[in-house]
Structures are given as C-alpha cells and as structure tokens.
Chain A
Amino acid sequence: MYMAGLDDMTEYAELHALSNFTFLRGASHPEELVEQAHVLGYRSLALTDECSVAGLVRAHIRARDLGFHLITGSEFRLQDLPGLLVLLAPNRDAYAALSQLITRARRRCAKGHYQAFREDLFLCQHHCLALWQPGFSDDDTNAGQWLRSTFGRHLWLMAERPLAQNDQARNQWLATLAETLDCTIVATGHALMHRRERKPLQDLLTAIRLGTTVENAGLALEANGERYLRPLKRLQKLFPAAWLEESLRVAQQCQFSPAELRYEYPAELVPKGHTPSSWLRTLVHRGEKKRFPEGTPASIRKQLEKELALIEELAYEPFFLTIEDVVAFARQHGILCQGRGSAANSVVCYCLEITEVDPRRINLLLERFISRERNEPPDIDVDFEHERREEVIQYIYQKYGRERAALAATVICYRPRSALRDAGKALGLDPLYLEQLFEGIDWRDREDGWQQQLARKGLADARGSAGLLLPLARELLGFPRHLSQHVGGFVIAAHRIADLVPVENAAMAERTVIQWDKDDLEALGLLKVDVLALGMLTAIRRTLALVSQYRGRPLGLADIPPEDPAVYAMLQKGQSMGVFQVESRAQMSMLPRLRPACYYDLVVEVAIVRPGPIQGDMVHPYLKRRKQPERVHYPNERIRAILEPTLGVPIFQEQVIRLAMAAAGFSAGEADRLRRAMAAWKKHGDLSPFRQKLLQGMRERGYSEAFAEQLYRQMMGFGGYGFPESHAASFALLVYVSAWLKHHEPAAFLCGLLNSQPMGFYSPSQLIQEARRQGVRVLPVDVNESTLEHRLTPAKGQGQPTVRLGLCIIRQLRRQAAHALVAARPEQGYRSIQDLRRLAGLSTADLEALAGGGALRSLSRNRYQARWDILAHTPGLELAGGCRVQEDPSDYAPDSTGEETLPEPDEADNLIEDYASLGLSLARHPMALLREQGRLRHCLRATELADCRSGQPVRVAGLVTGRQRPGSAKGVTFVTLEDETGNINVIVWTATARAQRQPLLKARLMHVRGVVEQQEGVIHVIAGRMTELNHLIDKLSTESRDFR
C-alpha cells in the first residue's frame, strides 16, 4: 500500500528501530512499528532492540500477515567501542551468531543488563552486517579502522537526522570518516516510536528509566519527537538520495526470516535401530498391554491408531518421547505426576502413563488432540509434586545440559496498577496520593472498569499532572517491563539452544531463560515441555505412603476403587475441606447444589466455579437442567454432540470453539483466533468482527436470531475465563482421589496435607479442627514423641490411627534443631531440659520455642516454669546457632535453680501460647471458653444452624477467619466465622456492608444477628447487625484472610 502522490523514486528501509522490548526506551509495540512501516510504504524494517530479540516474533507474525519484509537485528553499546553498533542478520547462520552474541553479553551480567566487548564480535564478524554510529570524537578513526578490518565490506556508517543543532556537523564528520575508512554511509532513523504522538509516552519511559520525574529529567529527554517512522517525503528532504538508496541495498542482503527456525528434537531418546516413530509405537504398545490387560476395546484401538497416524504425519514423536522420558524419570523416583491439556487426554498419553485419565471415561475428540490445521504444537502440561519438581528440573538440566535446555520467558507487562504507579511517579505525583487513589478500586470488576472507577474519584478532571495520568497510563498498559521465568516451560534443543534464541539470566540464581515467551514459541511452532508444580500431588503421595505403611500393604493411585458412592455422598454434603480444587467456599456451596455423582460431574464441578461460567450466566441454567435433563432441546444433532455432556450449556472453553465451528462455520484456525481474541478482550480486544461473522454464519446455517444472540452473549461473558475440559478432566481425577482419601483414610489424609503445607485454602488449624470433627484423634507435639514431620501412630485394633503433631509445627524452632532433637533422642526419651541441651545441643532460643509450643509437657510443670528454667542457663557460653563451646557445669544443675515458682498459666493463657507458637490449639476452642463464661448468650453454634428453617432470625458469633469480596459477586462480602463446631458462612449485602463498615472491617471476633438462608443443603446467615467483640479475645491471634 503506497501513499498517493509519492515520488516513486524514493524508497527506504529503516535499519535501526527499537520497540518497547528495549525496556523503558522504545515507546511502540513491535507490531505497531511493522504496521506503520508498511503503511508508510517502507521497503523493509529492521527491529533492532538493544541486545535483544524478545520482540522479534511478535513483529514477525504481523509482518508475515502483511507480507512485509522484516529484518532481524540488534543494537549494542560496546564497553570498549565509541558510539553505537547495530548488527543485522542476513541469513540463518548470522542469526545464530547474533543470538550467541546476545547470549554471551547477557549471561555475564545480572538480569536485565548486558556487557559486550570488541572481542565478542568474533562471533558475528563473518556473518552479520554492521552499522556503526561513531562517537564523534577523535577515537573514531582508530575504532573505525578496527571495525573495518573486522567486518570488511559489511560495515556501514549510520547517518541520522534527529533535527538537532549539530546534524550537519555530524554528517560532515561521517562523510570524512567514510572517506578515511573507505566505507559507505546509510540513512537510518533510530526510531523509538512508530508515530510521533508517542513522544509524551517516550518521555515518560525515560523518566521511569532514570528514576526521576519528567519535569526533572531535563536534557535526558529527547529534544524533539523526531525519532519516529517518518514519511518517505520527509526522509527525501532530510537525506541525500544515495544514503537512502543504500538502505535498500543493505535490506536486500537480509533474507533471514524467523519462519526458518526449525525445532530440532533431541535425538538421544530413540535407541539405535529405531526411528522416532517406531520407538513411540513400541512404547505405546508396551503401555497398551499394561493399561488394557483384557485387550484393548475396538473403539479405543481405532482412536489410538488415528492418534499415532496424526503424530507421525506431523512428526511430533520426539515431543511425546521427551515427555514420556521425564514422566518415566518421575515414576522411577516415586514422584507423583500427571499430565493435562488437550494432547494429554489421549489414548497415546494414557498408554505412555503420562495421564491417568482413562479414555473410556471421557469422550476424546481427535480434533482436540492435535490440530492439523492450526499448525500448533501439542499442548501437554505435566504437574509434579511441588516439593520434588526441582528434582525433575535438575534431571532435565543434567540430561540435556544447560547449553540445550532453558526455561521459556514470561513477559511481565504493565498492568493497570503498575502502569498508574510508574506513570504517576514519573509525573511527579505524590506516592501517597497515588495510594489513596488506588484504594477501594476493584481492578477485576469487568462491568465497572478501573478507568471509570478512577474517573469517578475525580481523576478525569484532575488539574495539572494528575490530569495526564490516566491517558498516559492507558498507553503504558500492556508495555513489556521485563522478562521473568515461566513457571515451568522448558525448551530443549538438539544442539545449542542459543543458536535458536538468546538465553539470559533469570533473577533466580542458576536459572536461565530464553528471550521468548510461550506465545512466541507457539507461533513459531517450537515445542516446550511444561514441568509444573502441584501441592496436592505431594499431599496425595504422602498420604498413600502413610496408608501403605500402617496398613502394611502398598496403596497406589491405581488401587483406589473408582466411583465410590460414599465418596460422592460426602462431597454432596459440601464436606470438601482439603479436597483438591473443590475446597473453596464457593465450591463448597456449589457441591450440594450440583450434587456430583460420577466422575464427569466432577469435571464439570471443577470448571463451573470460575469467573467465565459465573459471569457468562451458565451456572443457574446448568443447575436447572440437571434437575430436568429430559427437557433440554438442541437445535440439531451437531449442536447436541457438542453440548449434550453439559446439558446444552457451554461450560468448557473447547465447547465455545467447537460451537463457533459447527454453528457458524468458523474454520479451526478462525475459531482459535476467536479464543485468543476472547482472552485478550479485556486488554485491547475488539470482538465486533467476530460478532459479525458469528451471527451471520449462524443465520446462514438456519439458526434463530435469538439462539445466535444468546450464544454470542454467553461467549462474551465467558471472556478469557473459560476453563478447558482437557485440564478439568485431569484435575477431576485428583479431586476424586483426594476425596476418597479424605473419606476412607481421614487420619492419613490430614497427616499428608499437614506435611505438604503450605498449600490449599485452609490453615493447619482449620484442617485439624475439621479432621477432629470427623473423628480423627490428634495428639500434641512432644519432645519425646514427635518426629520432625507429623506422623501416624497405629491404633489398637482396626480403628483409624492417631495423628501426632510434628516438631515442624512450632514456628520459632529451627529445622536444624528439630533434626538434632530427633536424632539424639535416647531410647527412654529425654528426662530433663538439660538433657536436651546436652544431648541434642539445643540453644536457649530452641528450648524457648519448644516451651512455647508446649512440647516440654513431659519435662516441666508448665510452660511458664519451663521458660524460666531454660533462661536460667547462663548465656555467653554458646555461640550463635546453638553450638556449644564447652561443657557448662550448670548443664548438670537441677532443673529449677531458685525458689521462685512462676504463676500457673490458666486455660486462656495456654490458648494464647498455643496460637502464638503453633497457630493452632488442641485445647478447647476459644469460642467454647467464651460460651462457658456466658459471654455468648443466645448464640447458636455452627452445627445448630442445620436445624433452622429458612428465614429464621438467629444470632451467631465466631472468629473471623475469612473476609472475601470476589469480583464476580457484585459487591457482596462473604465472611467466614469459626466456632468450636465448624464454620458459619455469613453473607453481607452491599448496603449492610456500607452501613456497618466498622464491625465488618475491624472484627476479629464477630457477633451477627441475621437470618438463616437454607437452600439445597447450603446454609448461610444473611447479616443484619454485626458487632465486633474483639475485646473478648484481644490476646488470641487468629489470622484472617482479608480482602484487599
């Protein structure tokens, strides 16, 4: 697209342009630069971010779509060379060299920095084209001669016209230098933005980079806005024609495209004599025998063959082999893991033991497996036990080497709050003013966006700098800020990964990341292996081990009987604390309504309590239809096939895509773009082109307007928050397993959960209370009984074993000390505090921690006395950390040194100590204490609410353990109160919350007069009047999860 009236003689290629991936310097997205260059009729554009190609793929995709010529390059400031050097990659080898150079320069510095020297250029000298802007000093001749001898004919001098006073002088200098060096001058723009309207934003970025304000940045700001992509006509006026033409000659030499990058799989996974394909088949057939000992059912067999054929066709064998290898490693080392994702739920993955999701239990769709059309790498995430994922990562590093394996990057971008904060600082606004501005803003509210909320706070018509904040922050939004490491996406290369993409240091020591994120990798068709961490797997493995131990026979995942009605009955009552995925308050109140009775119900349960289905209004229709499934109608069989599993209501992300394909005639590629557009909708999306196409497509296929509109609305509501069925299917397995363990092995499950902390929604205190209500016996921590971790002690006879709390629950106790205590414990136990000092080498601080935790109960009269006795030990004879220097005679002195006896702690004192040291207490609940003291007259206990009818006025009281105001609940606050019998769910409507802010926000112990609401087994108290009773518990520390 050329501009009208343009002199056709003028053509230009911009060889020096920086995007916002040169963090805090470039002020345009890579895509914007490409688009603008295309619109202006540039022949080419080189993206030359400073020591980085992080924005390359984004630019490449846009250039590819536009049919525009993009050049790959990078800008460097060398430590020992004046001026600025831009290196361009004419071909694949040059790209590899450039990538290596970036890697080298980045790896020697901390995250976010680089250092390059002349000697590093040997990597590039034979491959890359070099454009140099000298330093305009007397060193230029020397440096120029060195560059000339290094790059030969591949050296150009960059001329610029930023419209500074010294433009002419500089370009004259260049002309002389070019003559001396015998090289050519090329016109360049050093573009920092695609349009000059971005100048304010660019100034803002400069101020943020320098940690100052725009006003004080002074001459550090660009003097004008000329560093943008200028129209050809202007360039023609600014540069001699020869210099402009030279840009085309340079551009012509650059024929490299990122599309050439091909992933070469690691070859070592295939044994000699096998092809990847034959080896995969061999492994799959081995697994098949194990998975289907009675023979593979015909339909499964057929599906398997189709999957294998597709894998072979797309040559994805090495990907499956790589994952199989990682999973096999985990299995050999007893690390629980499970795959999920569209490609994971397949017969191939079931046979390779990547997943436990039995293909006979869900409907597998081939088109979901791998899409031939989308040309996307298959999607498999593997979750590992969170405590042992590091072993898996180390295995990958060890197997492939650090040269070949690296983590994908996550591009951390400006989000509303950070954009406002940084922009505000740079505009010189008071940080306190900003904090006040942000308070009470609900960033997640989609109906009432943060921009409107801020506008209402007076920001829209603020004077001065504050008035500039919103527009600038809006522009800054979505700008990349730095590269972080992806949670677990590994890229493994056949040879050196730095040939493919530069590698740089992550913030974490010994971790490296590549410069591309998962979308970049996906766009180029490069594979990554996702190695993720999941706390529940740790808890399950630990629980299984405990059960195996006390039952005396091994219990594995495969031994858990499927579809146990007793397990479902428990879940239907909303008793799910500790159970994977369905333990949140929202899930707990969904369970009795959805009443899951089979595995697939759990798949739905996992996916339905999500912002997508909730805001898309899918929950109520689905629940309604569950009661009368026979009354669901489908417009036709194709829709029925898609929506029947979820009774006509789209709940999973996949269903939306398939609906768009089936009902509106979207191609798989288009449907996928729709999915992406939905995900990005909130950010900058415009769904109207899709709406048009969707409605029209459905009209053409004979669907009613109403149905089409309804579907579109559901999709919109869904936004990017739909949950994929392929993930829900894997999660649902863990839901079932953890629920089974909770039901049948409550003691072991509690022990497993406690030993896997921190994880899940609930504190150890809440988990223990729940288990005790289930009848599990829990014993206190004791120096003569406890091990480091919580453990089980077998019961006499057939009953449930008892849980003995471990030393790890004592907050102040050093782990090392706990280890020493257990290791040195004599067979008959410790007999005195001095024993602990002498045998285990415990320090005073350790002993105090033990006393506080009540672990010395077998050695001392009470906690107070224990502490007094411990402190009597003369300090100064220990080194820090509890090392003993010499024998101290007082070690052998009797326990109590003086006549002093300390006061006896009463029940409340003990409770306070318990909470302070352990965060929990096995003694009576504080609420029971208060009730006994008669301070909670007329208050019902949590369990007593079950006998109340709906609408009955009640009074309740409890410790506030949670206060949530979810974005999807439209201003309603959920308060959770805990008493000695369980939890009470209190709902506070917006008006009540507003009128009674003080008790709502301040109460740690809350008294509520309200009305019971009971519906399908879900019990709430609707708050009427709230009172804070903090004075009653003022010294008990309970943690409350506050909303912020």
Chain B
Amino acid sequence: MLRKLLSVGVVTAAFAGGTALPASADTLANIIDRGKIVVGVKADYAPWGMRDADGNLVGMEHDMIADFARRLGESAGTPIAVEKIVVVASNRMQFLEQGQIDMFIATMSNKPDRREVVGIVQPDYYSSGVAVLAHKDSGIDGWASLEGMTICGIQGAWYNKDHGLKNGAEVVAFKGVPEVEQALLDGRCVGWIYDDSAFIPRKVNEPEKWMDYEIATPTVDDVPWGAAVRLEDVDQPIGKALSAAIIDWHESGLLIELEAKWGIPPTQWLVDMREKCLADDPICNDVYDEGE
C-alpha cells in the first residue's frame, strides 16, 4: 500500500515538473516566437476588469495589457497578440505557477506572502485603501465627521476600530458583505467602512441602487497593487520589460488618464507615484526594497 502511494506521488511529481517546464525557458523569447502573450485578467472587478454589454473583456487593466503587448511588439519588430485567460483571486497565482499564463494584471494586492509565490514586478501600478461609503444626506464628510454616526462594517476588519470607533463612530459589524449591503440600504447605518476599490464597482455596475451613496472620506492605509510574472521570471527579460512599462505608465501619466477614462475617483497615490517616478525616487525602480 505504501509503495503504491509512493509511486503515485512520483508520477504526480513528474507531471508537476512537466507542466512547470516552460517556465524555465526564456519566457519573453517564447512569447515573441509564438507571436502572442497569454495574460491572466479579471472579469469580475469593474471597472478594472469586466465585460461590456457585448460580452467583450474591457477595463483599466485590459487597456494596460494592450499597451504592454504593443510595447513588446514594437521592441521585437513583430506584432504580439494578446490571449486573455479570465482568472479569479483564488486561482490567479496557481495559473501563473503552472504555466497556463505568462503574466497577470489582476487587481492583486502586493503582500509579502504573495511575493514568495509569484514574481510581483516593481513598481506597483495602483493602490486601494480604507474609506467610508455614505448616504449623501448622512452629513459624513471626512473622517472627523464620523463622530456619533452609526456605520456598518465587516466583523473582524482591523480598521473598524482604528478608523471607525476611534473617530467616534458606532460600528455595527456583520459577518459578510451581503448583510452589510442589506443593512446599509435598509438605513440601519448611514455609512459603510470597507475597501474603497469595492465601492467603485458597485457605483459603476449598479448606478441606480447606489445612486444616493458616495465615498465620503479620503482613502487611508493604502495597499498597493502589483502585476506579476512567474517567480523565476521577475529578473528575466519579461519581468524587466513589464517593470519598464509600469514605470513609463507612471511617468507619462497614462495610469491617471486610464483612471479618469474608467470613471474611477482620482487616487492621490497615483499622483504621488508620478511625482516620485519623475524625480527618480527609488520606490519607482524595478527592485523591491524592504518597506516599500
């Protein structure tokens, strides 16, 4: 029995090794050879990645990917097509590790434990943080105005205390997002403290439902978003090419333009990053430094 289990293990390991093989070759050379890049994209996170009325995949990240493919094509002297594979948060890193995609730009926060699994290229391209979505008649305008307000939250979120209770708000916390939405729309609370990038898709996708609600505080505690290639590719030509593209997107102001194009409220983070990139701040190079 043990021997049988062991042999199954060996076969599985061989398969895993086999599928991981393409990763060891020069990914960029492969992409140019076959004339197309396979990219993981989101379709469930408007307006970064979504489907339009005709079912086409569109969004801010899709525009970034198109621009990246154009750059690759120009430097290689041959057009590079884009093949999009729709990913979700729970499988994007696995798809990349297993070689189903060459890279992804898929609304992923740049976190230390993720940097051990995939190659998150530097610099980051966007950032989201904590904000309050409030009813327009609530009188909430800025963090200080939360004093005495009843706002909804998600149980266990660290910012309920730091940004809600400490600002004098009464935080009513529920188990999940649907319960919070229901409570907010029922008027049991006047605002909702949560990730600001979750509010924008709601405003974009269901404008009538959220007509009376606006983001009423500045965004705080930003966590940046990173694009990723395979871990071993991060210092290879593909990783460096993606880094160079992101640096240029910051410097040229393309990201700020795309943000406006897709109706995303302007993020101070992008403005600051543009300034830092233009000033050659080390945060805007292609290397991850501790504490960035």
- Chains A and B form a bound pair: no
B residues at A contact (CB < 8 Å): none
Chain A residues at the B interface, C-beta cutoff of 8 Å: none
